[in-house]
Structures are given as C-alpha cells and as structure tokens.
Amino acid sequence: MNSLQSYLILSSLLFSVGLAGALTRRNAILVLIGIELMLNAANLNFIAFWRYGPNPEALTGIMFTIFSISIAAAEAAVGLSIILAAYRHSRTTDLDQMNSLKG
Amino acid sequence: MTCLALWMPQLDQIFVTASHWLLSYLPAALQPLASAILSVAAIIVAFATLFALTTLLERKGLGRMQNRYGPNRVGPCGLFQPLADGVKSLTKEDIVPIRADRAVHFMAPVLLVAASFMGYAVLPIGRNMIMVDMNAGVLFFFAVGSLMELAVFMAGWSSRSKYSLLGAMRAIAQMISYEVPLVLASIVVLMQAGSLSTVSIVNMQASYSGIWPHWFVFTPWGFAGFVLFMIAATAESNRSPFDLPEGESEIIAGYYTEYSGFKFALFFLGEYIGMFATSGMAITLFLGGWSAPFSFLAWVPSYLWFFAKLLTIIAIFIWVRGTLPRLRMDQLMNLAWQFMLPMTLFNLIIAGVWHFMPGGLLRWLVCSTMVVVPCILFGGGLKRKKKFQIRTYHFSQ
Amino acid sequence: MTASFMILAVLTVAGTVSAMGLRNAVHCVLALALSFAGIAMLYLQLGAQFVGFTQILVYVGAVAILAVFAIMMTHNDKPMALPDSHAAWVAGCVVAVAVFAVLTRAIVSSTTAVQIQTQTVAPQPGVTVQQIGDALLHRFVVPLEIMGVLLTAALIGAVVIAMDRREEMK
C-alpha cells in the first residue's frame, strides 16, 4: 500500500467518522461540525491526489481546496446563524424536539 | 577607524558564523535538526530576556508617567525586579477551582505560549538571520496568531466563573474584530512587495536613495498602513487602551482570574511575546526590518537595528498605556468595524494609485489627500451624537 | 507510511472521534480544532503550504471560534444527557462503518491509484504563492469573483438571520 492509498484511507476514515457524528448526534451544532469534518476529509483527498497525481503543475487540487475552504466557512457561518434563530424560536437545539412546524 | 570598518561585517554575521561553527561538529544527518533547535533556543532566550526587561521598563515608565517611582528596591534601580517576580510566580501555590475543567484549564496557557512563540519563525532579525524562510511567511504569521484566540477561550471557559467567561468572550470578540484590519493593513505591503516572504519584503526596503531609506513607512499608504497596523496590534494583544477584557477595575482579571502562580506568569509571558511578535512583523513590513535608517549608519550590525526599533515600539506602547483611557466595548467595536476596516480598504486603493502614477510631487499630493480625507470622514462618522434615552435593562436569557 | 504520517494520522483520527463522541459540546469543539490542526499539518506534509496555513487561519481561527460562540449563545456548555434510544445511534454507526468499508475496499483494490503513484517519481512540487496567485487571476478568475459575491451574501445573510428582532417589536 503506497502513500496515496494511505492518505485516501485516512480521509475516508475521517469522512465516515464525520458521517457517524452527523447521523447520530442530537445537538444541531454538533451535526454541523460533523458536516465540516466531512468537507475537510474531501479536501484532504484533493490535496493527496494533487500531490501524487500526474499533473501537479496545474494546481487544480490546491485551487479546489481553497474554494472548498471558503465555501465551508461561509456555510458554517450561515448554518450557525440559522441554528441561533431556531434556538430563539424553540428554546432548544435538540433536533429530536424540533419536529413540528410553527411550534 | 578602518579596522572598525573591517570588523563590522563580521560582527554583523557573528551569530550566523557561530552557528555554522557549532554545527560543523555534528554529522551531516543531524545538522538540520540541530540548526532548528539552536535557532529555537536562541529565540526563546533572547525574547524571554526582552520580556523580563519590558516588565521592568513598563512598571518604571508607567510609574514616572504617574509621578511616582517604579520598582526601585530590588537591585540598583530595580534591575533585579523581574527575578523577584519570577521567583514569586514560581513559588506561589497553583490553585485550580474545584469546578474547573482541569485538562482544558491546564492546556490553555500552554497553547497560548506555544502559539505566541511560533510567530518568531518568520521574523528576519538580522541579515541572513531568519529561522525559516517560508514562501508564505506572512500568512504563517497570521495563521499562528489566530491560535491565540482559542487559547483565550479555553482559559475563560474552563474556569467556570462568571468573570472569566465574560472576559473571554469580550477578548475573543475584540481579537477577531481587530484581526481583519490587521491583515488588511499588511496586504498593502504585500501588494507592493509582490511576495509573502518576509526576507524579500525586508530586502526590498534595504536600499537607499541618497541617505533616505526605502522603508514603506515613508510613503502615504505605508504610513497609514503602519498606524492602522499598530492600532490593530495593540488591540490584538489586549493592551491599553483596548484592555477591557483584562482591566482590573472592570472585571478583576478577565479570562485569567482563576489562574495563579506559574500559569498566570505564562499568560503574562504569552501576551507580551505576542506583542513583541506583532511589533516585529510591523517592523518587518513597514519599518525596513534590520536595515539602518540612514545610509551612513549601515555599518552598525543589523540585529542591533532590529532590536532598537523593537524597543522604540515597546516604549511607544508603554507611553500609550500610560496616557490614553480605556475604550468601552461598543466604542472598541465601532472603531474596528466602522473606522479601521473602511480605512484599510481605502488604503488598498491608495496603494494602487501610488503604484501606477509616475513618481514625483503630484503622486505624493494625491495620495496624501486620499489618506487624510477618508480619515476625517470616517472619524467624524464615529462621533455621532447619541441621544440619551430612558435606560432599559436587558437581562441575560 | 512514514512515522510522521502515522503520528499525524493518529492525532487527527483521535481528534475526530473525540469531536463526535464526547458529551460536552465545548470539548467536542476543542477536539475538532485539534483535528483541523492535524489536517493542516498533513497538508504541510504533502507540500501544500498555502492551503495548510489557510486551513489554520480559516478553520481553527474562525470556524471553531464561531462554533464556540454558537454553543455559548445557545447555552449548550453543560454536559448533555445520553440519548434515549440506542437504535438511532446504532443505525448511524452501522451506516458509517458500511461507507468506510466500501470506500476502503475501493481504494485498496483500485488499480488506478496504484498506477498514478508509480507513474510519477514524485519529488515535492515547489508551489509558490506567486503561482497560486497567477492561477487565481488567470485561469480561475470567474470562481474567484463568484466566491467574493458568495462570501458577501453569506456575511449579510448570517447577520440578518441571527439578528435580534426584539428591538423591532418595541
């Protein structure tokens, strides 16, 4: 197993741990950070393929990762503000209890 | 006089030649690691000594400004006061509150000191005297500086005390608000220098036209950028007049209320080291790094100029601390978002205009006007008169 | 599979598992910051300096702080109760394990990954910030401008959504 495969397996492990967290946690903020972990795992994949891939001079992996980091930061900001607004309405961040519209 | 002129270049590079001589005794495989360890040890020793000296200078300087002597009992003119302070903080009992989160409470000062010291890796202290010449050096510096906010939160939250948490939240809000003008004020220099490597930024400023140096601070955009960078650096290090998160009359000690003994000393150390690092970056970006102010003074060793500039900036910090009153939280935030952010963005445009206009008096007049007029306009916008209203109380939810 | 890769991998996975498994939300976010830092060091090991420093600046310095602020403002800093039903918890873990198994099988048995690795001798490509800047402004200028618009929209949107509307109702 060469270096590229070890980086890919590491990133798939991070992805699946983030997925487990996003699926099982009840707190809305922890679901969001699970999603951030999944995005990070995908970024690691990009950089690993950029480094060990056939054409590192094209900088495609780095560009994709830079844009992905920016988008993830924007998404985290908007997601957390939505959670704040929902908390102000329903007084809880527990996803199991936010199960009715117009509560 | 001629033998002085012969010795000065050697004196300038004395640390470089000394480290090469020391490393030549080691096998070639160990040399990169040993060179790194040597540089780290030198940085820690030099700047920790500077920290000790600064604590003494600050107390004496503030004392004189407040019409009293500073510490003058321990040693001649109080010179051994830092030693006494060190002994005190090492021998005090380390109290951890019973409800505190022990692991996080322990890690917070460690993270703060580690993050503060890491910034020195990209500061060129002298000619050929930089620890790591990174291609993205300035970005590394700001990335490492942003780790300090996490350490502040860890300190404030783990103490499980009202004052700590409130101080930590205020401190983090202040630090992230002022990080934006800090980075934007440095982008002007990066635009002009065309590189993020601190060594090439200093090398661009190390030439002279006549006797005047090419420092970036002697241009309108550079001067505005330098002033904005220094204001943001004062706020980043939680120094007066931005020290609401740690002001003793407001909030006891803010996020390090519940720390005692050596951990408190580590917080103190971390803040001052961060202040020195940001000043060092300001010197590198705007004040020409290790280059001499006039071309006929270029024979003085380069590291002496760096430390002279650093001591001047520290003296200005102490002067400002003793002079200006503390800013309130909302005044602080308004200053960051309504004055400094638009000014730094305008500064980018001014630097662009400077770059593309042909040199001469017209360029100076246009750019100086473009600096002064928005400054007055934005500053006037800050002074909106607030009408007094009936006081309403918002209790925390 | 060098020693530094193993150390960083263990650190990152430990941070990630703690971020998803601890009961106190603030501990989770601190472990998350640790795993972000671990990923940034992996980027540095792969030779992507600019991305590594950007990861620390954006993720550890801003996203983690943002998550911490959200936890503080929603009063989640006390340890949470254990979930009532174990069925959802077990189902989530089973799905995650299945995804990991499928991905690992695909990676290990893939011929493409092996071919790509053996093709290039792979000395570290020295990417300068100048090259990244050139690429951003020549080949990727449209995504750059769209990113600016998107970040502005996200900034304004986040402020508007999270704004306290009680003053309006007075």
The tens digit of pLDDT for each residue in B295-325 reads 888 888 889 999 999 999 999 999 999 898 8
Give the closest of B134, B165, B172 to C65, CB-based. B172
Size of interface B-C (CB pairs under 8 A): 61
- Asked if the C-beta of C39 comes within 8 angstroms of chain A's C-beta atoms, the answer is yes
Q: Is there a domain that residue B152 lies in?
A: yes
Q: Is the pLDDT of residue C121 over 70?
A: no
Same domain (yes/no): C123, C133: no
pLDDT score recorded for residue A22: 92
Write out the residue range of the structural domain in which residue B135 sits: 102-382
Residue B243's Cβ-count burial label (10 Å; 0-12, 13-18, 19+) is buried
Weakest mean pLDDT among B56-65, B370-379, C36-45 = B370-379
Measured in angstroms, the CA of B301 and the nearest CA of chain C are apart by 31
What are the φ/ψ torsions at residue B209 (nearest 5 degrees)? Answer: -115, 105
Same domain (yes/no): C37, C104: yes
Q: Is the pLDDT of residue C116 over 70?
A: no
Q: Give the residue ranges of chain A where pLDDT is below 50.
A: none
Average of pLDDT values for B67-83?
Answer: 86
Q: Which ranges in C46-140 belong to alpha helices (H)?
A: 49-55, 64-73, 86-108, 111-119, 129-138
Q: Cβ separation of A78 and C157 shorter than 8 Å?
A: yes
Q: Is the pLDDT of residue B28 over 90?
A: no
Q: Tell me which chains share at least 3 CB pairs under 8 Å with chain A.
A: C
Q: Is the pLDDT of residue C170 over 50?
A: no
Give the closest of A30, A59, A85 to C28, CB-based. A30
Q: Is the pLDDT of residue C64 over 80?
A: yes
pLDDT score recorded for residue A91: 84
Measured in angstroms, the CA of B388 and the nearest CA of chain C are apart by 17
Same domain (yes/no): C141, C106: no
pLDDT score recorded for residue C113: 59
Average of pLDDT values for C5-22?
Answer: 93
The residues, ordered by sequence, that sit 6+ positions from B70 with a Cβ below 8 Å of its Cβ are B56, B59, B60, B61, B62, B63, B64, B78
Q: Is the pLDDT of residue C84 over 60?
A: no
Specify whether the CB–CB gap between B228 and B378 falls below 8 A: no
Q: Partners of B226 in the beta sheet?
A: none
When comparing pLDDT for C36 and C77, which is higher? Answer: C36
Same domain (yes/no): C79, C39: yes
CATH classification of the domain holding C60: 1.20.120.1200
Please state, for a pLDDT cut of 70, what percent of chain B lies above it: 95
pLDDT score recorded for residue B248: 58
d(Cα B301, Cα B290) in Å, to the nearest integer?
A: 9
Weakest mean pLDDT among B40-49, B197-206, B264-273, C118-127 = C118-127
What kind and span of H or E run contains B33?
helix B31-65
Q: Which ranges in B237-335 belong to alpha helices (H)?
A: 248-251, 262-285, 302-323, 329-334
Write b or e for each residue in C76-107: b if 16 or more Cβ atoms lie within 10 A of its Cβ, otherwise e.
beeebeeeeeeeebeebbeebeeebeebbeeb
Measured in angstroms, the CA of C28 and the nearest CA of chain A are apart by 8
Mutation pick from C23, C53, C74 vs chain B, by most beta carbons of B within 10 Å, is C53
| Cβ contacts of B153 on chain C, cutoff 8 Å | 65, 68
Same domain (yes/no): C161, C111: no
When comparing pLDDT for B29 and B345, which is higher? Answer: B345
pLDDT score recorded for residue C167: 57
| Cβ contacts of A7 on chain C, cutoff 8 Å | 5, 42, 46
Q: Is there a domain that residue B255 lies in?
A: yes
Residue B349's Cβ-count burial label (10 Å; 0-12, 13-18, 19+) is middle
Mutation pick from C8, C42, C107, C136 vs chain A, by most beta carbons of A within 10 Å, is C107
| Cβ contacts of B333 on chain C, cutoff 8 Å | none
- Asked if the C-beta of A95 comes within 8 angstroms of chain C's C-beta atoms, the answer is no
Same domain (yes/no): C119, C58: yes
Q: Is the pLDDT of residue C118 over 60?
A: no
Summarised one tens digit per residue, pLDDT across range B314-370 is 999 999 998 988 888 888 888 899 899 999 999 999 999 898 888 788 888 888 888
Write out the residue range of the structural domain in which residue C117 sits: 3-127
B contact set with C (CB within 8 A): 104, 134-136, 139-140, 142-144, 146-147, 149-150, 153-154, 157, 165, 169, 172, 176, 179, 194-196, 397
DSSP state of B99: T
Q: Tell me which chains share at least 3 CB pairs under 8 Å with chain C.
A: A, B
Q: Is there a domain that residue B210 lies in?
A: yes
| Cβ contacts of A67 on chain C, cutoff 8 Å | 140, 143, 147
Q: Is there a domain that residue B91 lies in?
A: no
Q: Cβ separation of B147 and C60 shorter than 8 Å?
A: yes
Size of interface A-C (CB pairs under 8 A): 235
When comparing pLDDT for B4 and A15, which is higher? Answer: A15
Q: Cβ separation of B150 and C65 shorter than 8 Å?
A: yes
Measured in angstroms, the CA of C158 and the nearest CA of chain B are apart by 16
- Whole-complex ipTM: 0.91
pLDDT score recorded for residue B309: 94
Q: Cβ separation of C58 and A69 shorter than 8 Å?
A: yes
Averaged confidence pLDDT in chain B: 87
d(Cα C146, Cα C43) in Å, to the nearest integer?
A: 25
Q: Is the pLDDT of residue B215 over 80?
A: yes
When comparing pLDDT for C122 and A73, which is higher? Answer: A73
The residues, ordered by sequence, that sit 6+ positions from B26 with a Cβ below 8 Å of its Cβ are B34
Q: Is there a domain that residue B56 lies in?
A: no
pLDDT score recorded for residue B393: 76
Specify whether the CB–CB gap between B281 and B124 falls below 8 A: no
Same domain (yes/no): C51, C82: yes
| Cβ contacts of C33 on chain B, cutoff 8 Å | 150
Q: Is there a domain that residue B132 lies in?
A: yes
In this prediction the pTM is 0.91
d(Cα A92, Cα A86) in Å, to the nearest integer?
A: 8
- Asked if the C-beta of C124 comes within 8 angstroms of chain B's C-beta atoms, the answer is no
Summarised one tens digit per residue, pLDDT across range B231-240 is 999 998 888 7
Q: Is the pLDDT of residue B67 over 50?
A: yes
Which domains occur in chain A, in start order? 3-90 (1.10.287.3510)
Domains held by chain B: number? 1
Specify whether the CB–CB gap between B246 and B171 falls below 8 A: yes
Domains held by chain C: number? 2
Same domain (yes/no): C24, C108: yes
Q: Is the pLDDT of residue C90 over 80?
A: yes
Same domain (yes/no): C89, C37: yes
Give the closest of C88, C99, C150 to A74, CB-based. C150
Same domain (yes/no): C111, C163: no
Q: What angle do CA C135, C140, C144 make, to 5 degrees?
A: 115
Same domain (yes/no): C101, C141: no
Angle of helix A28-52 relative to helix C3-21, nearest 10 degrees, comes to 160
Q: Cβ separation of A13 and C100 shorter than 8 Å?
A: yes
Q: Is the pLDDT of residue B396 over 80?
A: no
Specify whether the CB–CB gap between B74 and B82 falls below 8 A: no
Q: Is there a domain that residue B16 lies in?
A: no
pLDDT category at C166 given cuts 50, 70, 90 is: low
- Asked if the C-beta of C156 comes within 8 angstroms of chain A's C-beta atoms, the answer is no
Q: Is the pLDDT of residue C162 over 80?
A: yes
Same domain (yes/no): C105, C123: yes
Average of pLDDT values for B47-52?
Answer: 93
Measured in angstroms, the CA of B267 and the nearest CA of chain C are apart by 19
Give the closest of C30, C53, C128 to B143, CB-based. C53
Q: Is the pLDDT of residue B178 over 90?
A: yes
* Touching C: A residues 47-86, CB under 8 Å: 47-54, 56-57, 59, 61-63, 65-67, 69-78, 80-85
When comparing pLDDT for C117 and B136, which is higher? Answer: B136
Number of Cβ within 10 Å of residue B132's Cβ equals 12
Direct distance between the N- and C-terminal alpha carbons of chain A, in angstroms, rounded to an integer: 54
Please state, for a pLDDT cut of 90, what percent of chain B lies above it: 39
pLDDT score recorded for residue B348: 92
Length of chain C as a residue count: 170
